[in-house]
Amino acid sequence: MRQVCTTVISLLFSLLAFTSCSSTGGHNKAGEADNGKPFNPTELLKYDPSKGDKKIEEFMEHLHKVSGFNGNVLVAKKGKIIYEGSFGWANHLTRDSLTLASQFELASVTKTMTGTAIMQLWEKGKIKLDQDVKDFFPDFPYDGVTIRLLLTHRSGMMNYVYFVDNIYRSQHLNQKKGLTNKETMDLIAKYKPARFNKPNASFLYNNSNFMVLGAIIEKVTGMSYADYMKENVFKPAGMTHTAVYSKAVYDKIPVDVVGHDRNSWKYSVAQNFLDGPVGDKGIYSTVADLYVFDQALKAGKLIKPATQDSAYTAHNPMIRGHFSYGYGWRIFESPGQRVIYHTGWWHGFRHIFLRDMKNDVTIVLLGNMVNGSLLHLDDLFKMTGMPVVRKGAYTGNGDTAED
C-alpha cells in the first residue's frame, strides 16, 4: 500500500511540475510565446500626478513654451510611469485642448506594429522572410523584392507617396477619397514606376516598403489590415485606445487631434487620398497605449523574445557608429547600450517612441505641430539615464559631438 501511495504521489508531483513548466514557458491566448512576466495593463497605467518627476515636468514645460512642443508625453522607468502630461491644443482652430486620452495619427511609428504583425505571421509559418512579393502579387513589377528587404528598407522601391500624388494631380482624380493598399498595388503594377535602386543594394527609407507589407498582411490573412491589427496586436496587448483609420473607409477620420505643418497654426493639414494606404502609417493611438505596446512586447505577449531579438538586430550598416535599422525598428547601439525606437512624421504629426532595453526606460512624445522641438531632448535623455538618441550628437566615429 505504501509503495502504491508513493507512486501516486510521485505521479502527482510530476504532473504539477509539467503544468508549472507549461505555464511559465507556455503560450498566451493569441498562441504566441509568453516569457512568464506579469502583465496587467491597468496596473501599468496607474499614475499619481502629484508624484510625477518634477525635473521632467520642468523640462517639458520649457520644451512647450520655448521650443514649441505641442503634444502628449509619457516617461516610464522599470515598469512604472514617472511622468505624463499634455501640452497645447488638439485643434487650434476650435481651441480644443489635448488630453492624455487624445489619439494621434502615429505616422511612421505605425511601422513598429506592422513589423510585429509580419513577424507573427512568420512565427506561424504563414510567410517566409525571403519570400518574393510576386508570390503574393504576381503583377508586381519588380524582381527580387523580398519581405526581409521590405522590413529593412532595402527593396530599392520608389516612394509610392510621390508617385501616387503625381498621378492624382495630373489626372485630376478625386483627392478626398482614400486609396486602399490593393488599389495602390494595382497602380504600381499598371504604371511600373522606375525604382530608385536594385534590391538589397543599399538602405533607402521610404513608405512603399511598409505599405506593401500592409498589403501582404491583408492578402495572407484574408482580413483587412485594420481587423488583423485589432485582433492580433491591439487586443492581446491591451491597447484599448488604438485603431486603424483609413480614408478609404472613413469620409472623416473619427479623432479630434489635427496635424499642423510648417511650424504654424495657420497650416492645419486636411487628410486626403494619401491617408488611405496603411501599414506605413494609419494607426491612431495614445501615449499610454504605446507604453502598453512596449510592455506587451517585453512580456512576450505578441511575438517570442527570440523573434524580437532578430527584429532588434541591425540589418543595415551603422550610421555614425551607432544608428541602424532592424525589422520595423530604428536602432541605437553602443557598448552595453541598446535603444529600439522609431520616429514619425506625416501630415502635421511629429513623434518619437523610444525603448531603452538596458535601463528599462520608455519615452513617448506624440506631437501635432511639426517643428524642431523633438531635436531638443538631450537633457530628457540624460535625466532618465538613456543615451542621447540624436544622430547630430555624434561624429562619424561614433563619438559625442561638442554641442
Residue 263 is predicted with a pLDDT of: 78
Residue at 14 is within a domain = no
What cell numbers appear for 169 in the block?
494631380
Query: What are the phi and psi torsion angles at 39 (to 5°)?
Result: -140, 110
pLDDT of residue 35: 53
Q: Residue 110: name the closest of 203, 199, 225 by CA.
A: 225
- Rounded to whole angstroms, the Cα distance separating 84 from 80 reads 11
Q: Is residue 116 part of a domain?
A: yes
Structural domain count of the chain = 1
Which domain does 144 fall in, by range? 37-94+102-387
| pLDDT value at residue 92 | 84
CB contact burial 201-229 (16+ within 10 A = b; e otherwise) = eeebebbbbbbbbbbbbbbbbeebbbebb
Rg (CA), the chain: 23
Residue 364 lies in a domain: yes
In a domain, 196, yes or no: yes
* Structural domain includes residue 15: no
Question: Position 353: which residue type?
Answer: F
Give the CATH number, domain containing residue 321: 3.40.710.10
Cell of 2: 505504501
Give, in degrees to the nearest 5, the angle at Cα 221 between 310 and 153. Answer: 40
User: Is 12 inside any structural domain?
Assistant: no
Task: Pull the grid cell for residue 203.
Answer: 538602405
Taking Cα atoms as reference points, which of 235, 228, 200 lies closest to residue 214? 228
Please give the Cα distance from 371 to 209 (Å, whole number).
26
HSE (side-chain half, CA atoms, 13 Å) at 105: 31
User: Which residue stretches of the chain have pLDDT < 50?
Assistant: 1-33, 403
395 in any annotated domain: no
The pLDDT value recorded for residue 1 is 43
- Indicate whether 287 belongs to any domain: yes
